[in-house]
Amino acid sequence: MADDGDSSLEEDHVAIVTEKLNLTSPTPVSHVQLACCNSHCAFPWQGNELRIYINTDFGAKPLNLIGHHENVSALAFGARQDPLLLCSASNDYVIVWDIEQCYRRDIEGLIASGVVIGTCLGRAQHLSLCSENEKVAVCSGAKTHILNIQKRELVVSLSGHLGSVTAAEFCPWDGHVLLTSSEDRTFKVWDLRTEECLYQSSVLSAFPLLSLFISEEKRQLITGSTNGQVWAFSLPEDFRCRVVSRVDLQKVEQRRLKHMEGSPANKPERQPRCQSPGSVPGEQADTVETSRPVLRLSPCTALPGCVQDQERCGNLYWIGSTDSLFLLDLDAAELRTALYLKDYPNLTFSMAGSWAIHQRDKDKILCVMSSPFESAIILFEVQMSEYSLSPCPWEEILTVFPSGPLLPESPLNAVLVRKGVPKPIKKPGPEVKVVQMDRPLTFHPRVKSSGYATRPWACTNKVISPKKSSMSVKTRKKPRCILPEYPEDIAVPTVLYNQVSAAERPAPVSCLQYSGDGKHVLCGLGNASALLYKSTLAGTTAVYTGHDGPINTVDWSFNRKWVVTSAEDRTVRVWPIGNAEPILIMGDDKFSKPVKSAHFYYLDKFMLLASGPALHLYLYHLHLARDDIKRYHQKSLCKPVGRFKMSSGTDITCTSTINQLYSYIVLAAGVDRSVEVFDMNVGHVCAEIPDAHTRAVHHITQNQGSVFSTQAPDLYNLFLTGAVTDGLKLWDLRTLRCVRRYEGHANRCHPCGAAFSPCGRYIATGSEDNCAYVYDIRSCTYLHKLQRHSDPVLTVAFNPAKPELMTGTLDGKLQLFRPSNGAAII
């Protein structure tokens, strides 16, 4: 029975699903590999026959192909459209069909026939054609057979898996390389010329691998398992694969639902239709947990709103599961959208046994789906909207640059009035006329002689050369560039230049920060001291002691005259450069919990502190003069301006702000795994990211750039967060969405920090495998692995003026790295 009517259901701002075709077959088709390309779709019909439909005209007469004697178990289209080939497999034959020639013979009234290229290979579970339409891979049992289409012969049979081979794909840029996945939970890379295994993965999961896809653009392998795990591996030239990312569909689905519930776009009376599969608005969602097997992987080529800048859309893939269709951003490990089949009652059935997914346009996806319980096949079209791809839009677009002037009641308008300095008071009385006394026209007591009293020069017939004349004119010096440009075309600092021990006894280096001019670096240690080095780690070291607990953060002022430190002893100290005694101490009487961070803020006008569940904003005045008799009498002042609490009431773990410009934005991470955005112009939380990581965020940093380099304005809206066991995430402040994830380093128990390079092209992070990693911000795969560390690397920092990278380790050592063209002394 066929139905080609356009029955559709329009979800409110989510998607339009239109069922184009539904068929009932006399034989089961639940786990048959279906096929769909840009122009046609194909599936088994009546067991041993094939039925072909044109995607643009489902009302036209389908093409029936007869040639198999047993039930067809797998179908696959070729990559080329001219000619368009279709390969089908059963227990008896493997046949290749020329679709255009078959249509021509059908019009002439003749029987369409294909070419048999293989016989008696067993039941085929998966078929794949190479990009040149020269070879076919047939997965049967634990073997993979390679057939030549032109010669119609078996080229090679690959065996090595311990379970049934579930998928196989040819490498798009090297047709002699084949990748296979199996029920033994591993994948292999084969060289067809030598019939050898180039690479074999470890056991990835406790569940079989079902699907496989190779991205030519990203040079990555993507595979999925029956329990909803998706892995991405890099494919270098030697095919020594390494993990780029790993995603659990069930976890990212739950995180997406929480994110949608916390979005201000979702009003209390309006609940999203996709809260849970088959949920009814107003009813309590089911608590039954279901797995999300990855039955099919298909690339997403374009999206609405991303036509001009496709790179912003991310590394997207459509995933067909048993009861849903997901759009996964693999770089960010986030779901962009989720369509649950039960939410669309116009579909004939809502459970899938197998999928075929093809994207026809930037907003239209064509899906062929078979039922696991019935002998039925449906074909439907999904039309996406821009809203469905941005499920949590905020009411206003956030940016680090001020979008307007300060409000009259803004906390940032506060001014510090010192005691003892009287305000000028205008006394009432008659006006007194002030007579201006005569004053000299010059500002100096002596005036240079005009030269009239000196002896005139003697006239001679000689021509005086300007070079030999005693009255030579002073040549002007060429103007120098005050701030030299940061070199952007130089290599990444990867060569160890210098290494020092920060303390006699091992103490972890908890934080590092360069001064604004890049000439000095300040590091905080776990032994309650802070050290000031030259950027080369040479010369004398200034030591700042006075805290009674490990240093949490250090920060430089914008004018590079002061540094501030915060520690676990609930105190904050401000130190002048060149003096080992603090000029301002904010004692434990002001804070009930340890001060997790301290920053100079708003171009040194304020100090921003984080303690407990609140941010504390202080005005301050630093007084340098000291009395030797009352040397411990503090003349510096600080005045509280406001106390801004987290909306969830949780304690703050770390904060980030930009002091190089007048920015209203402050980022704060909480113990409850959330990240909140404060707008200090209004003095409250303006946005929140719930469950930013699976653990509490221990590090957050913004892309602050450098005074020596210029970046695109959009790049300053990027920030990084890090959590134990959850890697690094790159976020966009304008959308509050994770745009990329970095998991190539090891971070299991120690709080490893990260940093942006001044040019904004690289990210460096510490790791627990005694290495530091450098990532390209555009790729999830690390570029360099900096070794020669003696302990886990806890913190990293880029020099804002020169291409240098400094790392601090758990045993208290500092390492300085420079590019390969720099001379190493170690």
Distances, alpha carbon 27 to alpha carbons 51, 65, 348, 376, 460, in Å: 14, 16, 18, 9, 121
pLDDT score for 503: 83
283 or 560: which leads in pLDDT: 560
Give yes or no for a contact between 566 and 546, defined as CB atoms under 8 angstroms apart: no
pLDDT band for position 412 (cuts 50, 70, 90): very high
Q: Is the pLDDT of residue 272 over 50?
A: no
What's the token pair of residue 123? 């039941």
797 or 434: which leads in pLDDT: 797
Q: What percent of the chain has pLDDT over 90?
A: 65
User: Is the bond preceding residue 83 a cis peptide, omega within 30 degrees?
Assistant: yes
pLDDT score for 258: 74
pLDDT score for 619: 96
CA–CA gap between residue 127 and residue 144 (Å, rounded): 10
- φ/ψ of 132, rounded to 5, equals -95, 5
CA–CA gap between residue 239 and residue 189 (Å, rounded): 7
pLDDT score for 291: 78
pLDDT score for 65: 94
How many residues in the chain?
826
pLDDT score for 59: 83
pLDDT score for 733: 94
Give yes or no for a contact between 44 and 72, defined as CB atoms under 8 angstroms apart: yes
- φ/ψ of 98, rounded to 5, equals -90, 110
* Average pLDDT score, the chain: 85
> What confidence tens digit (pLDDT) does each residue in 719-740 have?
999 999 999 999 999 989 899 9
pLDDT score for 446: 61
Q: How many CA atoms within 13 Å lie on the side-chain side of 616?
A: 22
pLDDT band for position 825 (cuts 50, 70, 90): very low
CA–CA gap between residue 752 and residue 475 (Å, rounded): 54
pLDDT score for 82: 85
- Determine which helix (DSSP H) or strand (DSSP E) holds 251, and give its type and residue range: helix 249-261
pLDDT score for 280: 42
CA–CA gap between residue 89 and residue 206 (Å, rounded): 30
> What confidence tens digit (pLDDT) does each residue in 334-376 have?
888 899 999 999 999 999 999 999 988 877 899 999 999 888 9
pLDDT score for 634: 73
Give yes or no for a contact between 46 and 27, defined as CB atoms under 8 angstroms apart: yes
Average pLDDT over residues 154-178: 95
What's the token pair of residue 316? 């997207």
pLDDT score for 263: 56
Closest CA to 34 of 13, 52, 16, 21: 52
pLDDT band for position 425 (cuts 50, 70, 90): low
Q: Is the pLDDT of residue 282 over 50?
A: no
Q: Is the pLDDT of residue 509 over 80?
A: yes
What's the token pair of residue 768? 């627990």
Closest CA to 657 of 612, 714, 617: 617
Say which range, 104-108, 214-218, 410-414, 453-457, has the weakest mean pLDDT. 453-457
Q: Is the pLDDT of residue 26 over 90?
A: no
Distances, alpha carbon 305 to alpha carbons 42, 260, 311, 391, in Å: 31, 20, 12, 14
641 or 393: which leads in pLDDT: 641
pLDDT score for 449: 57
pLDDT score for 308: 44
> What confidence tens digit (pLDDT) does each residue in 664-688 have?
999 999 999 999 999 999 999 999 9
Q: Is the pLDDT of residue 632 over 90?
A: no
The residue to which tokens 């679709």 are assigned? 99
Average pLDDT over residues 449-468: 44
Give yes or no for a contact between 86 and 70, defined as CB atoms under 8 angstroms apart: no
Give yes or no for a contact between 94 and 119, defined as CB atoms under 8 angstroms apart: yes
pLDDT score for 638: 92
pLDDT score for 284: 45
Q: Alpha carbon 19 to chain centroid distance? A: 36
Average pLDDT over residues 171-194: 95
pLDDT score for 12: 40
Q: Is the pLDDT of residue 163 over 90?
A: yes
Average pLDDT over residues 573-600: 92
Q: Is the pLDDT of residue 798 over 90?
A: yes
Q: Which amino acid is at 818?
A: R
What's the token pair of residue 254? 């739950």
Q: What percent of the chain has pLDDT over 70?
A: 82
819 or 430: which leads in pLDDT: 819
- Determine which helix (DSSP H) or strand (DSSP E) holds 612, and give its type and residue range: none
CA–CA gap between residue 754 and residue 764 (Å, rounded): 5
Average pLDDT over residues 767-784: 93
Q: Is the pLDDT of residue 457 over 90?
A: no
> Which value, in Å, is the radius of gyration of the alpha carbons in the chain?
35
pLDDT score for 472: 41
Average pLDDT over residues 245-259: 86
Q: Is the pLDDT of residue 95 over 90?
A: yes
